Chain A
Amino acid sequence: MAHYKILGQDPYWMNFYGLMILTLIEVLAVGADLDSFAESVGTEEKVITLWILTIIAIPKFIMIAAIFMHLYGDEDSGILTMTALFPAFFIIIMVLFVGLTHPDAASSLPAWCRPGTYGL
């Protein structure tokens, strides 16, 4: 169990309160009318919503992993964090090279890195 405090309080309760508040903001952000703000920054409302959701998801993810899953503050936290981060390499490959590729990527790549052109 945790041997530290957050703002002088029990870390699990503090984490719980934080997660509830962030989730509430998340749900409210989807219902909020962000049209005028989106127009003022020259983008669509959906893009603003996506940014808000992503920015909120990151601390939520870290709070659960670090405090509830004890990847922070325990004797074995360091090595277990390294273990948990090990798949990050493969995750980055999958997200960047599979998830974010475009159907036209093969034909829109520069000539030097298209199949059949290896500079030989």
Chain B
Amino acid sequence: MSDGEHHPSAWGPHDWSHGAPHNSWSPFILSMGVAIFLFSLGAAYEWGEFQGWGSLPLIFVGLGVISFSLLVWWRQDMSFGMHGEVFEPKSTGTPFQNIDIRKVAMWMFLMSEMMVFTSLFSTYMRYRLGIPNCKTVFHSGEWVEGTAVTCFEPAGHLIASSWFHIAPGAINTFALIISSFTIVQALRYAKKKDIDEDVRRRKVTRYLGTTWFLAILFLTLKMIEWFLGFPLPEFLHEFNHGDSEIKSLYAEGYLINADSYEHKAFDTDYIEKHPEDYSIPEESALYAMMEAGTHPGGKMMANIQVSATTFYVTTGTHGAHVLGGIIGLTYMTLKAAKGGYTPDNAVSIEYFGLYWHFVDLVWVLVFPFFYLY
């Protein structure tokens, strides 16, 4: 093809040999699709209650736009670097002179992401410090059975209640750290010049595939923790207060619309029968009231909508980022299997790696403060 015949297509593979830049409308269309999908999905539910099928057409429109944009993006990028031709535009202005434009753009994107998660964290801190803790309210004795009190019940109280409950979150933490390492290894082998092309292709595919598997594992365990729970073998029942299963947060009633949440830790009758599980401190007001016969005891009912919402929104936003990573990893693994990543064309792995490490970074903070504390 001569220079005069250079006609890059907006919807097809770019004409990389002519130094065509990475301009693409696909990310913009993708963000529009995600917005349509999320707004219509949000309209389908109100306080966790399904509102009917009215927004279903828009949900499918959103999914259609997302699929279309991914297809176009796929077509445009799959050819990049396949035949040795690489064009990576550099920034020319201060302060990012000579740094790849895409790298700078990725960091700008990560900065905006930091702001998103910071707002979620500050919301959590604000409510956690501003609303009295359910345990504190229970021990204060300022409640009566049958009337809900508004209090903050951290998910950590359920999750960190036993090793079995912590297990999915703990495994997820290790999975994300291992996946951060495997993506670095994928980049390392993609950039290695002194190895056979076929060895490089297999190594990069394996490491990206392992990252993909770990991301899938993360979301699977998240689903188990939120919705499914898991059974325990009989010999472990005694270590789980005699229960045969680890209940999901959903089964525990830890929901965004939980305005009458009950838990055995807030039930004086249960505590009396199972002193090995929970206790009422002797120095607490509730203990004194019950000793004096001025508090009838019973089950404290709590409105935990705020605490459950902060938990699900923050961990859900993080989970959505993992899902986005899975979509990207699926594509990259397939491209790697076709030999699409070479020492001159490994930056896509590097930039995706930045995103993936960021997802790991957020989890480094989410796990201790939402799951353990």
**Contact residues of A with B, CB < 8 Å?**
1, 12, 15-16, 19-20, 23, 26-27, 30-31, 46, 49-50, 53-54, 56-57, 60-61, 64-65, 68-69, 76, 79-80, 82-84, 86-87, 90-91, 94-95, 98-103
Q: Is the CB of B170 within 8 A of A27?
A: yes
CB distance from B166 to the nearest CB of A (A): 7
By size class, the interface of chain B is 35 or more
Check A23/B122 contact, CB under 8 A, given A12-B184, A16-B181, A83-B108.
Answer: no
CB distance from B306 to the nearest CB of A (A): 13
Task: Return the CB mask of B108-147 against A: 1 if under 8 Å, else 0.
Answer: 1011001100110111111001100000000000000000
Q: Is the CB of A103 within 8 A of B122?
A: no
Q: Which are the 8 A-B pairs with shortest beta-carbon distances?
A: A99-B125, A99-B122, A53-B368, A16-B181, A94-B122, A98-B122, A30-B372, A91-B118
Check A1/B191 contact, CB under 8 A, given A76-B99, A94-B119, A99-B121.
Answer: yes
| Smallest CB gap from A91: residue in B | B118
Task: Return the CB mask of B163-192 against A: 1 if under 8 Å, else 0.
Answer: 100100010011001101100110110010
Q: Which residues of B have CB within 8 Å of A20?
A: 174, 177
Partner of B357, one of A64, A76, A80: A64
Q: Is the CB of B122 within 8 A of A95?
A: yes
| Smallest CB gap from B118: residue in A | A91
Q: Is the CB of A46 within 8 A of B184?
A: no
Q: Is the CB of B163 within 8 A of A64?
A: no
Partner of A95, one of B118, B130, B180, B187: B118
List, sorted by A's number, 18 A–B pairs whose CB atoms are closer than 8 Å: A1-B187, A19-B177, A27-B170, A30-B160, A31-B163, A31-B166, A53-B369, A56-B368, A60-B364, A68-B360, A69-B354, A69-B357, A80-B99, A87-B111, A87-B114, A94-B119, A99-B122, A103-B130
Check A46/B373 contact, CB under 8 A, given A20-B174, A68-B357.
Answer: yes
Q: Is the CB of A23 within 8 A of B174?
A: yes
Q: Is the CB of B111 within 8 A of A53?
A: no
CB distance from B200 to the nearest CB of A (A): 14
Q: Is the CB of B361 within 8 A of A64?
A: yes
Is B227's beta carbon under 8 Å from chain A? no
Q: Is the CB of A100 within 8 A of B125?
A: yes
Partner of A12, one of B129, B181, B367: B181
Interface centre among B122, B130, B365, B368 (most CB of A within 10 A): B368
Is B250's beta carbon under 8 Å from chain A? no
Extra inter-chain contacts (4) besides given A1-B191, A12-B184, A101-B126, CB under 8 Å = A16-B180, A26-B173, A26-B367, A87-B115
Within 8 A of A (CB), among B11-41: none
Q: Is the CB of B373 within 8 A of A53?
A: yes
- Measured in the bound complex, the distance between the Cα atoms of B11 and A52 in whole Å is 52
CB distance from A16 to the nearest CB of B (A): 4
Is B107's beta carbon under 8 Å from chain A? yes
- Measured in the bound complex, the distance between the Cα atoms of B126 and A53 in whole Å is 19
Q: Is the CB of B129 within 8 A of A102?
A: yes
- Measured in the bound complex, the distance between the Cα atoms of B108 and A69 in whole Å is 14
Q: Which residues of A have CB within 8 Å of B129?
A: 99-100, 102
CB distance from A50 to the nearest CB of B (A): 5
Q: Which residues of A have CB within 8 Å of B108?
A: 83
Check A26/B372 contact, CB under 8 A, given A16-B177, A87-B111.
Answer: yes
Is B95's beta carbon under 8 Å from chain A? yes
Q: Which residues of B have CB within 8 Å of A84?
A: 107, 110-111, 114
CB distance from A26 to the nearest CB of B (A): 6
- Measured in the bound complex, the distance between the Cα atoms of B360 and A113 in whole Å is 41
Is B96's beta carbon under 8 Å from chain A? yes
Task: Return the CB mask of B334-373 against A: 1 if under 8 Å, else 0.
Answer: 0000000000000000000110011011001101110011
Q: Is the CB of A27 within 8 A of B181?
A: no
Q: Is the CB of A65 within 8 A of B361?
A: yes
Check A49/B372 contact, CB under 8 A, given A91-B114, A91-B118, A99-B125.
Answer: yes
| Smallest CB gap from A81: residue in B | B107
- Measured in the bound complex, the distance between the Cα atoms of B130 and A49 in whole Å is 21
Q: Is the CB of B115 within 8 A of A90?
A: yes
- Measured in the bound complex, the distance between the Cα atoms of B353 and A80 in whole Å is 15
Q: Is the CB of B180 within 8 A of A64?
A: yes
| Smallest CB gap from B163: residue in A | A31
Q: Which residues of B have CB within 8 Å of A101?
A: 126
Q: Is the CB of B177 within 8 A of A98?
A: no
Q: Which residues of B have CB within 8 Å of A69?
A: 353-354, 357-358
Q: Which residues of A have CB within 8 Å of B357?
A: 64-65, 68-69
